[in-house]
């Protein structure tokens, strides 16, 4: 994740899976292992130690809020 790269800002994630499911999958990843930072969902956001990232669930990318 961008957590380890200071020059990368992860500002949004588009996935059909809700933020709470994404947080769970990242937290308990059996392939890449659990991250060395905390991760949780707050509404439509994934929150880590360093940032808060908006999670969208848009099937059509042209409907994404690109300007936000």
Is residue 13 pLDDT above 90, yes or no? yes
Residue 50 lies in a domain: yes
What's the chain's average pLDDT?
A: 85
Residue 19 lies in a domain: yes
pLDDT at 5: 62
pLDDT at 1: 52
Residue 67 lies in a domain: no
Structural domains counted in the chain = 1
**Structural domain that includes position 50:** 2-59
Residue 42 lies in a domain: yes
∠ CA 41-42-48, rounded to 5°: 55
Residue 9 lies in a domain: yes
Coil, helix or strand for 65?
coil
Closest to 52 in 3D by CA, of 62, 63, 38: 38
pTM: 0.74
């Amino acid at each position: 994740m961008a957590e380890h790269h200071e020059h990368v800002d992860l500002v949004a994630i588009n996935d059909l899976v809700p933020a709470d499911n994404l947080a769970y999958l990242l937290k308990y990843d059996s392939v890449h292992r659990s991250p060395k930072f905390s991760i949780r969902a707050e509404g439509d956001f994934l929150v880590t130690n360093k940032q808060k990232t908006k999670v969208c669930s848009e099937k059509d990318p042209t409907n994404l809020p690109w300007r936000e």
